[in-house]
């Protein structure tokens, strides 16, 4: 069974489309006995699995840097203590040398791919955006705050890593870098799959190539799954509705969530958007006696 009430914690990496705020709704509306694996083909920051905390999990993503980081924390090659030493050292260099040091770390990361450097860049890049160019190189500029790694921030990041280290301890979880097709192919009837693919036409970078054809292909494969699923998807914005939903998921339960995007550089990305969580019929738990909820800047309605 999934935990009934979760006060979701933020994972150590921030990425576009992070679903920390959605976790309580996911947990509350999914019925699953937890006997199989919790599968995420699009793990991203890991916010969902890390808070749901199933016993067995297959967590995959094509972004090798995310997978490397979680594997490093799982194997204790990266701990809160080792990260603290690293961030104090590199943070002090950033403070004294300035942005040149950020670009040195960025070059080193693009040459060597260290998970320590990934966290450094993720937490000191402009607007907190994770973006890789067409050659798979991280290309986000500096946030222009040389004193970025003040003790309070270092402590906060290290606490997030310590929390994740504890969550991973003793769990039968596999982190794998692979495309979603391979991940879905590994599912069995007792599993549950949570899917959060990139949105068509948004956040496109090297690791987020996504178009209508990919979305259709995924939807078709999801409907062929032999296990339960939940699928995060955009439903509408002020300009249009996502017709893809009725085409593939008309018989499923939808939970709509209206919210404002805060991550992103343009006005367009900050617009209100209705997202939906689609849950396979047999796995859906309704909220009895309540048909509307709101939490902070989230609004949720059961349809
Ligand atoms: C919207 S994000 C997932 C966000 C995640 N649920 C969270 O809370 O952080 C989509 C993820 O899909 C990954 N991705 C993009 N294309 C993929 C593919 N073809 N196969 C597997 N993962 C892919 C991206 O690297 C990205 O991490």
Digit-coded pLDDT (tens) for 41-81: 999 999 999 999 999 999 999 999 999 999 999 999 999 99
Query: Exposed, middle or buried: residue 179 (CB in 10 Å: 0-12, 13-18, 19+)?
Result: exposed
Q: Write the residue with the smallest CA distance to atom 27 of ligand 1.
A: 44
How confident is residue 240, by pLDDT bands cut at 50, 70 and 90?
confident
- Which pLDDT score is estimated for 110? 98
Pairwise pLDDT comparison (151 vs 17), residue with the higher score: 151
Domain regions of the chain by residue span: 20-62+178-302, 74-165
Place of tokens 């296990």: 227
Stated length of the chain: 303
Predicted confidence (pLDDT) at residue 270 exceeds the cutoff of 80: no
Place of tokens 């793990």: 43
Domains 20-62+178-302 and 74-165 share a fold: no
How confident is residue 219, by pLDDT bands cut at 50, 70 and 90?
very high
Q: What is the average pLDDT across 179-185?
A: 98
Q: Are 41 and 214 in contact (CB under 8 A)?
A: no
- Which pLDDT score is estimated for 222? 97
How confident is residue 216, by pLDDT bands cut at 50, 70 and 90?
very high
**Most informative mutation of 39, 42, 132, 203 for ligand 1 (most atoms within 8 A of CB):** 42
* CA 283–ligand 1 middle distance (angstroms): 23
The reply to whether CATH 3.40.50.150 applies to domain 20-62+178-302 is: yes
Single out the residue of 32, 26, 50, 39 nearest to residue 176, CA to CA: 39
CATH of domain 74-165: 1.10.1020.10
Instruction: State the closest ligand 1 atom to the C-alpha of 194, by its place in the atom list counted from 1.
Output: 6
Number of neighbouring beta carbons within 10 Å of residue 298:
16
- Which pLDDT score is estimated for 261? 56
Lowest-confidence range among 114-118, 206-210, 213-217, 218-222? Answer: 206-210
**Most informative mutation of 16, 62, 216, 269 for ligand 1 (most atoms within 8 A of CB):** 62
How confident is residue 300, by pLDDT bands cut at 50, 70 and 90?
very low
Summarised one tens digit per residue, pLDDT across range 138-169 is: 999 999 999 999 999 999 999 999 999 999 99
**Most informative mutation of 21, 176, 197 for ligand 1 (most atoms within 8 A of CB):** 197
- Quote the pTM value: 0.91
* CA 284–ligand 1 middle distance (angstroms): 24
Two structure tokens written together for 302: 């059961």
Any residues with Cβ below 6 Å from ligand 1, and which?
15, 17-19, 41-42, 44-45, 47-48, 61-63, 179-180, 196-198, 207-208
Predicted confidence (pLDDT) at residue 186 exceeds the cutoff of 90: yes
Q: Are 89 and 203 in contact (CB under 8 A)?
A: no
* CA 15–ligand 1 middle distance (angstroms): 10
Q: What is the average pLDDT across 256-278?
A: 68
Predicted confidence (pLDDT) at residue 266 exceeds the cutoff of 70: no
- Which pLDDT score is estimated for 180? 98
* CA 31–ligand 1 middle distance (angstroms): 24
- Which pLDDT score is estimated for 295? 36
């Amino acid at each position: 069974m999934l935990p009934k009430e979760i006060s979701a914690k933020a994972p150590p990496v921030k990425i576009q489309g992070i679903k920390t705020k959605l976790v309580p709704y996911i947990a509350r509306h999914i019925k699953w006995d937890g006997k199989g694996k919790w599968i995420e083909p699009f793990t991203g920051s890991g916010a969902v699995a890390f808070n749901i905390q199933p016993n067995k999990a297959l967590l995959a993503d094509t972004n090798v840097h995310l997978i490397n980081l979680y594997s490093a924390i799982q194997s204790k090659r990266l701990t809160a203590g080792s990260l603290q030493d690293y961030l104090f050292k590199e943070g002090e260099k950033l403070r004294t040398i300035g942005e040149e040091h950020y670009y040195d770390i960025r070059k080193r990361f693009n040459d060597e791919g260290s998970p320590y450097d990934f966290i450094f860049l993720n937490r000191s890049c402009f607007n907190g955006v994770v973006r890789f160019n067409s050659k798979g190189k991280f290309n986000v500029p500096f946030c222009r705050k040389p004193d970025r790694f003040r003790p309070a921030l270092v402590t906060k990041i290290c606490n997030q890593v310590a929390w994740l280290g504890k969550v991973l301890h003793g769990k039968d979880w596999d982190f794998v870098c692979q495309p979603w097709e391979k991940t879905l192919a590994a599912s069995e009837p007792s599993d549950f799959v949570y899917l959060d693919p990139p949105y068509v036409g948004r956040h496109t970078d090297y690791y987020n190539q996504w178009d209508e054809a990919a979305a259709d292909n995924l939807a078709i494969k999801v409907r062929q799954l032999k296990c339960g699923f939940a699928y995060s998807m955009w439903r509408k914005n002020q300009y249009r509705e996502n017709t893809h939903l009725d085409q593939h998921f008309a018989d499923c339960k939808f939970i709509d969530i209206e919210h404002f995007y805060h991550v992103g550089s343009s006005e367009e990305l900050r617009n209100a958007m209705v997202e939906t969580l689609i849950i396979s019929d047999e796995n859906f738990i309704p909220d009895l006696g309540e048909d509307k909820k709101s939490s902070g800047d989230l609004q949720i309605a059961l349809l």
